[in-house]
A and B are shown apart, each in its own frame.
Chain A
């Protein structure tokens, strides 16, 4: 089954269309079934994926607009493989744990379309197709936030949409310019990323293009100072929205840096290391402090994801296999962990209809199971060894140390301040006596919630103890990319900066 990727992309969409027919009562079951099949397909993809091969696999190529160089061109490599699987997983788990009852059918259909766009972004190898799914993913999210969100939902959703939309339009100009340059040099129109890889650009072009793409990605990540849409989006979105947003949508930005910026503009990327590292460190420290000041658990986690995305950004620009593989892995870990944390917040929100820490306290006595799972996720979030959170964070910091010890130490403070706000949350809401009457009678996790959370716990621990099956394919592709970047780089600084791992195989 070589066209499994197309199946992966369009199966949810078709299911979504058919979903209109399904009766309201059974819509939820329908959605879960579809998502489960999708997950199974993605796992099958993993199963039939050749980990040793660093290049693109399951490639499909159908010309759409030859005159304009646009083609339906998709494929997957170690870097994108697991993000796809995670997208499928989080959609399924999100649906399972979903507590929404208000027009559930629309929600299911929306989610299925969203799933299509998410997977589409990560398999796309043609810039226009990438952009297509990238933009489309905004629409369902807009609807989810806007239709099921909190009091400020309209403001939040529009802000989310316009902010990202504006950024990506600049990116679009970059893409068009890239195509133009490609046309000038080769006389052919092409938006295929792999074609673009082959292009060796003069440094000033690289810088401009890097900047153009930067806007699109940075706003999505979101990097400081473009991050302010995120707290609103998370604050207003329903649980499921936050889960998908944090777990998958944010990763599009960082993925974009790995997929586009690095291999296409190696020299520019190297020049940009310091500015980006500085921004990332601001993200890490500043947002962590802001998170500590929050009164609302969900906001804490929202800001904490900005902080964690800072770590990921840092790793990407470490320019060595340790760092980049680390941050790709960290994307997965953050996806799972923050997703789980948002679900956990959702659990308590369903019970008490508030997210303010001051309302809680002593939950550990009332809801032990809940406290345990929250505790585990929290420890994963602060990067405790033998949880998924440690591997990525450790590799990223390790990798970036080679670039700049000082900056690494600054970024490393995340393990301290991260612990500060996370433990503060835990202490305020789970420890101490149960003061609030309303909390005395809370029920612990019910079956639905348990079954949707336990798998995540297992993954968190499994990948913490034995990350190899995931890390290896990632690492192979990353090493290959570095080799390729190193060959492609033209400036001396870049050649020095880009560290090819001794254990690398050939280029892309």
Chain B
């Protein structure tokens, strides 16, 4: 039967997938989604653990994470829009005017 460890492994895998996304993606929008993926991986873990301990804290945390993820997207997209207005691209390789 499927135990906690399976869930944790899944979440770990998704987390790493998200991480890979963050590392590989060149488009900022995609990059944001990757971070969302990571956060949701964490949610899985939290949900599983809280069920394992049957204690609600984990789920609470999960909910908060979802909320925060949402607001992150909001703010993030806002910034992206103004950025797009200025630069006309979301490719982060064009985003290196400050260096050194």
Is there any pair of Cβ atoms, one from A and one from B, under 8 angstroms apart in the complex? Answer: no
